[in-house]
Amino acid sequence: MLETAEAKGREIPDWARDPAILDFPETFFLSSFWKLHTERHFENGPIPRSEIRAQILRYDIQGQLLEDCIDIVSLVDNSFLSYIAAERKKKIDKEQHASMKSYKR
């Protein structure tokens, strides 16, 4: 993003060059997700929204922003669960393929 602005000749303020500031939203949401990922009621189930809400409320975030934050953490969780399911399927497929190869011999 900074490279694009510089290429267009736009002045970049010093604060925009500080990765700690630019990474805050990602850090906040990922940190909240990792703090909550053990709160699942089922091993492969989603983090309960009530747990996400409680975590976000610790930062005194309220109103629509609270709901948006809950949605974002839920999306991160859903992406994580999709990734885990895909990796699990790859492993099963690989094991099945290997067993089929050995069976054909």
3-state secondary structure string, 58-84? CCCCCHHHHHHHHHHHHHHHHHHHHHH
Which domain, by its residues, includes 80? 2-104
Q: Which of 65, 64, 37, 61 is nearest to 51 (CA)?
A: 37
The number of distinct structural domains making up the chain is 1
Q: What is the pLDDT along the chain (105 residues), one digit of tens a residue?
A: 567 777 888 777 665 666 555 456 778 888 899 899 889 988 889 999 999 999 999 988 899 999 999 999 999 999 999 999 999 999 999 888 888 776 665
> Helices (H), strands (E): how many in the chain?
5, 0
**pLDDT confidence of residue 49:** 96
CB neighbour list of residue 54: distance below 8 Å, 6 or more residues apart:
none
Q: What's the rounded Cα separation, in Å, for the pair 26 and 41?
A: 25
Q: What is the pLDDT of residue 44?
A: 85
Q: What is the pLDDT of residue 22?
A: 46
Q: What integer pLDDT is reported at residue 38 of this predicted model?
A: 87
